[in-house]
Structure 1
C-alpha cells in the first residue's frame, strides 16, 4: 500500500496494464483497449454477415420493432406540450397552426469543403473483397478525400465490373463499416446486445448471438489491438458490464472470454462501480446514459448498493428517433425516406445531427443543418433545412412518453432462469424440499423431474424496468438508501456518464428537475452534478483499468482452466464475487 501511495498513477498503469485488456460492451458500442492506454477504442457493437437467404432482412431483429400506437401518439403529444410549457416554447399544434409562411428547404448538390465535419455525408461500405486486379478508379475512390458525389460516380461506373465473377463479397463486415452497407447489398446486420441484454429472440437464437459476440471481439483483438489468438494466454481480461446484465448473460460472456478468446484469466466488475473509480470517487450516484438504456445506482465507500438500482428503457438512440419525429411533425424534414430501423446509416446521420444541434435550453431553438438521404447505393443527397424545436428531444429523458421506447422494445427474456448464482455462496444453503418427496432423489420420475421443483432458480438481481423519468429515478434511487446523511451526500455527488451525458445543458436541467422531484417532507435542499474528469463515455472503461491494476489480492479473478473444468461449482476454489461486495482496498490511493 505504501508503494501505491508513492507511485505516479501513469507509471502504475503502464507497469501493470500492458497485459490487461479492459472490455466494456454496450448495446450500441463496445469500448475496449489495454489498461495502459489513456483511452479505449470505441467501436459500434455490430456485425454484418453475407447472406443468400430470401426474403432477406437488412437488420436481424427488425421484426421486434413495432409501430407507434394511437394511444402512444397521443401521450407523446401530451408529453411534448408539458415540455413546451417547461421550455417556454409554443405547444405542438399551436406552432404549426399559426405558421403563416411555408417551410423552405433547399437542396445542396455540392458539399462545401469549408463546412465542418458534422455536415459531411457517410460513404457506402465497399462490400467486395479487394483483388490485385482492381481498377485504379476503384482504388482512387476509396481515398478519404473523395467527395460523396464523385465516390458515387466511381462506384456506379464500376458496378458491372464488381458484379463479375472476379469479385467476391466479403463474408463478414464489422463495426461502423457494417452500419454503412447499402440496403441493396446481400447482408444482414446483427446487434448482439439490445436494450442492455443479449439480443436473444425467435429471430436471433442464443447460439448465433454468442457467436457474433465472439466474432466481433476476436476481430477487434486481432486487427485493432494486434493481440493474436496464440498470444492471448499472456493477457488477462476485465469485463466491465452494465447493471442490466443477468446471471446467465455474465457467465456466457465469461465463457467467451476464457474459453473462446483464450485469455489466461478474467474478472467481472459492474459499470457503476467502475465509473466511480474512473472519476476518483468513493461515494456517488452514478447515472449511466447509454444508447438504449439509462441506469442509476448508488455507490457508498467503494461498494455498490444493489437495492438502489434503477433501469430505464431509453437512451440516446431514442432521442435521435424523437428528433426525426419532431421534425416530421413540424414539416421541416425533407421529403426523403429515412428509416433508422432498417437503414442503419440513417441512424448514424440522426445521431450526428442530435450531437451537433440538440441541447437543453429555454426558448425556441432552431438551426440550419444539412440532412442527407441515402438511397439504395446511390451517392448521398444533401438537403439544407431549418431544424426546429431542437431542445425538445433531449427533454424526453425527463418525460419518457415523448420517446415511446415501446416502439423499440427489449428482447424477450424468458430464458433468464439460472440454477447457479454468480453473486453469493449458494451451495452451502439449505434447499427446501417438498414434504411429499421421498428420500429417493428419483422417486417420482413418472411425473417429470420433481426434484427440480424444489431447487431454487436464482434471479441474479431484480431487473425491473421503471416507467418513470430520469429525475424521478435518481431521486427514488438515492432516497432508497434510507439514511439522511448518505442521502445528502449522494444528492451532491451525482455523476453523469455515457454518450448522452455530453448533451449541452443537461447538467443544470438534471439539478433543477431532481431538486423539484424530492418530496417536500425530505430535509434536502441541495443537488449537484459532479463534473466528469474525462470523456463521460470512457469513464467506466478507465475505472475498469484502475480496478484491474489495483486488485492486488486477485481473489475474484477466474483462471481459464478453472472456469472450463468447473465453472462456478464446488471445488473450483474460485468464484466470481460481484462488485456489490467488493471493498475498495486502494481507495486511499485514489483519493490522495
Structure 2
C-alpha cells in the first residue's frame, strides 16, 4: 500500500490544493428554479407593454404641462387676486381649447379611404372628401383594349354587315336566364296591375335596328371633352382622372392599371408585388400633393393618418399599408378603422346592419355599440361595375345601335357608366319602352349622336344583386395568390386572416364537394353539385335555410311543440326565389373558411339575413333591432328605388318581421358614397379618447405586432 504523501511533497510536485476564491467559469451562474412555487408576472401588467407605457407617459406629460401653465398664469397675475383667478382660468381655457381634439386633430389628420374604383381623401376638418379614380396609366407598347382578346361585352357582325344572333354571341345559358328574368318581371308587373304595351321587346329591337348615328362637328358640340395632352417628353405615368382621358390612340401608348380590384390587391394585372404597392403609394402621394396641397414631404411628419380597411381584411395588406404610411410617407401617427364601423360613425347610429355596395364588392356587417360583430361580417365580390357590364350586355342583346362598344376602351367605359346612372332603376312603374339618346365623343373624331330605345334592361341589370349568376364572374379569381401569400401564424402555420361565421356559411353553400373523395362529409353522390357548374339557386339559399332552421328550434320549444323533422320552409322569397328546405336527416357539409378557389357571390337579400342571423344568435330583440336598422351606403346603392325594392324582398323572405324591416338612408342628406369617409374623419378627431394611434417610436421598436394592442377589435 502506497503511503500518503505529505503536504510538502505535494507542494514540491505542484499538486498541492489551493483555494483562491475564484469561480470555475466566468459565465453567470443561475440558481435552480424552485419547481414547487414557480411564479412569474411577465407580461401580466400594463406597464410591461411599450404601447401602454408610452400612452401613460404621454398622459403624464400632458398633465404636468397643464399644471405648470396654470401655476405660471397665477404667478403672473399679482395686482388683483380676482383678476388673477379670472386670467388663470382664461389661460387654462385657452390652453384647453388649443388641445381640443376637434381643432388640432381636424386640421392635422389625413383621412384615406381606398376603393376598387375611387379614392377618397381629405383632412379630418373638411366637410367632404376629394374623390379621384384609383387608377394609374403607365407608358406601354399597347393599351388595355388592345391587350384583351375578347372585349367585354361586345356584339359581333357577320361579313354581310348583319348582326350576329345574340344567343350565339352571349351563349344559350346566359340568354336563357335573361329571358327568364324578363318573363318573371312581366308576370310580376301583370300581377301588380301595371299596364304594358303588346310586344314591347320586339318594338324596341326593331327601333334600334333602324337607327344610324347623327354626326356633330366638334365646334358645334357644347360639351366636348378635354382630352389629356401629353408632355414632351411624355410622362412615365399619369394618375387619376387625367389617366381616363388619355386618348386610346396616343403616342406613346398608355396602359391603365387599377391596383385594387374586387376589394383585393390586383394580382392579375401585375407581375410583381413591389410594382403593385408602388402604384398604390404613387396614387396616394399624388392625391396628398394635388388635392390636399401638401407639396413638401417634410411637412407630412406633422400629420396623422386615419386609414379605412375592409371589415374582412387581409393582414398582409394591412401590414404593408402600415409600413408604407410610417416609413415612406413619414406620418407622425397612424390608425385604422373598419368600413362598417366608420359608416355608423358617419351616420350617427349606435347600432345598425351596414350594407356597403361598392363598385366591385359588397360588404355587410352588423355594428353594435361601436364594435363590428365578428361573425356577422360578409364580403361579396359584386358591385356597381357588374351592373354596368350586365346592363350594356343586355342592351347589346336587344340590338343596341352602338354595337361596337367595348368597355376596355376608356371613352366607352365612361359612356357606359353615364348610361347606367341615367337609365337603371328598380321602380317597376318606370319599366316601359322609352326613347333615349347619348353622345359618343372620341379623341380626334367628330361627335356622334345615337338614338335608341330601352325597355326592361335598366331594371333587370341591377336585379343581378339578387340573381348574381347573371353577372360575369368568370375572371374575378384570376391571379389570386399569385403575388401575395396568405398570412399564416408563425407558430402553428394556420391561416391568420380574420374569419366570420356568416361568411363561412355562405362559402359552404357555394362550395363544390371536396375533391378528396368526391363528396363532402357523407353527402350522397346524387346530391353533390357539379364542380364545374355555377351553383344554382337552391344551393345558394341553403345557407339561409340552415340559419332559419337553427332559429326555428328555440322558438318552437317555447310554445311547447316538438322540433320538426325537417326545417320549416322559410318564408317565400320574391319572384324567382324558390322555397328552401334543409332536411336534418342528412349530415351537414363541413364549414368552408380558407379556400381561395371559391368566389363569394350570393344574393344580396339572403346575405343580409345571413349576417343578421349570426349577429343576433337567436336573440329576438337583437334580431328586431338589426332588421329594423339596415343602412345601405356606397356608390352602388344610388340606383333609383333600390332601397324600397330591397325592403320588399326582405319582407317577402321574412313576413314575420313585416313591421320591423326598414331600410335606412344616411341622415342629413349625406351622399351615400362618402358616409364611410365622413365617419373615419369623425373618428380622427377623437384624439383625446382614441387609444388606437400607432406612433413612430413604438412602430420602430415593435413593427406591425403593435396592431394586436392598438386595434379596437381582435386583430
TM-score by length of 2: 0.63
Distance in structure 2 (CA, Å) of the matches to 1:496 and 1:410: 29
In the alignment, what sits opposite 2:498? 460
Say whether residues 1:543 and 2:679 are aligned partners.
yes
| SS in structure 2 of the partner of residue 473 of structure 1 | helix
| SS in structure 1 of the partner of residue 373 of structure 2 | strand
In the alignment, what sits opposite 2:487? 418
Q: Is the 8 A contact 1:268 1:578 kept in 2?
A: yes
CA, structure 1 residues 180+70, in 2 after alignment: closer, same or farther (shift >3 Å)?
A: farther
Among 41, 45, 48, the residue aligned to 2:134: 45
| SS in structure 2 of the partner of residue 567 of structure 1 | helix
Of Structure 1 and Structure 2, the greater helix share is in: 2
Among 233, 236, 242, the residue aligned to 1:168: 233
Among 211, 230, 255, the residue aligned to 1:188: 255
**Structure 2 segments unaligned to the other structure (5+ residues):** 1-95, 154-169, 508-598
In the alignment, what sits opposite 1:207? 274
| SS in structure 2 of the partner of residue 18 of structure 1 | helix
In the alignment, what sits opposite 1:478? 612
1:508-554 Cα shifts (integer Å, max 9, x gaps):
10110111122x6x666521011212101000001001111124344
Say whether residues 1:105 and 2:174 are aligned partners.
no
1:107-506 map, 5 Å:
107-110=213-216, 120=223, 122-126=225-229, 128-129=230-231, 167-185=232-250, 186-201=253-268, 203-227=270-294, 228-331=296-399, 333-340=400-407, 342-363=408-429, 364-373=431-440, 377-389=444-456, 390-406=458-474, 408-409=476-477, 411-413=479-481, 415-419=484-488, 431=491, 454-461=492-499, 464=507, 465-481=599-615, 482=617, 483-506=619-642
Among 181, 184, 190, the residue aligned to 1:82: 184
Say whether residues 1:20 and 2:109 are aligned partners.
yes
CA, structure 1 residues 561+303, in 2 after alignment: closer, same or farther (shift >3 Å)?
A: same
In the alignment, what sits opposite 2:77? none
How far off is 1:473 after superposition? 0.9
Distance in structure 1 (CA, Å) of the matches to 2:145 and 2:266: 12
Distance in structure 2 (CA, Å) of the matches to 1:229 and 1:61: 37
1:197-254 Cα shifts (integer Å, max 9, x gaps):
1101374422111000000000011122111311000000011122343111111111
In the alignment, what sits opposite 1:590? none
Distance in structure 1 (CA, Å) of the matches to 2:696 and 2:465: 41
Distance in structure 2 (CA, Å) of the matches to 1:293 and 1:380: 34
CA, structure 1 residues 107+72, in 2 after alignment: closer, same or farther (shift >3 Å)?
A: closer
Among 654, 659, 662, the residue aligned to 1:528: 662
Instruction: Supply the RMSD in Å over aligned alpha carbons.
Output: 3.3
Across the two proteins, how many residue pairs are aligned to each other?
Answer: 491
| SS in structure 2 of the partner of residue 239 of structure 1 | strand
Q: Which has the higher contact order (CA 8 A, sep 6+)?
A: 1
Q: Is the 8 A contact 2:415 2:440 kept in 1?
A: no
1:154-191 Cα shifts (integer Å, max 9, x gaps):
xxxxxxxxxxxxx3222211112111222222111110
Q: Is the 8 A contact 2:314 2:487 kept in 1?
A: no
1:304-346 Cα shifts (integer Å, max 9, x gaps):
0121112222111111112211211122x22342111x21322
| SS in structure 1 of the partner of residue 331 of structure 2 | coil
CA, structure 1 residues 204+260, in 2 after alignment: closer, same or farther (shift >3 Å)?
A: same
TM-score by length of 1: 0.75
Q: Is the 8 A contact 1:304 1:579 kept in 2?
A: no
Distance in structure 2 (CA, Å) of the matches to 1:121 and 1:22: 34
In the alignment, what sits opposite 1:580? 713
How far off is 1:466 after superposition? 3.5
In the alignment, what sits opposite 1:148? none
Q: Is the 8 A contact 1:298 1:308 kept in 2?
A: yes
**Structure 1 segments unaligned to the other structure (5+ residues):** 1-6, 130-166, 421-426, 432-453, 583-592
Distance in structure 1 (CA, Å) of the matches to 2:205 and 2:444: 38
CA, structure 1 residues 23+240, in 2 after alignment: closer, same or farther (shift >3 Å)?
A: same
Larger radius of gyration: 2
How far off is 1:507 after superposition? 1.2
1:387-411 Cα shifts (integer Å, max 9, x gaps):
3322222222122122233355565
Say whether residues 1:558 and 2:660 are aligned partners.
no
Distance in structure 1 (CA, Å) of the matches to 2:266 and 2:123: 27
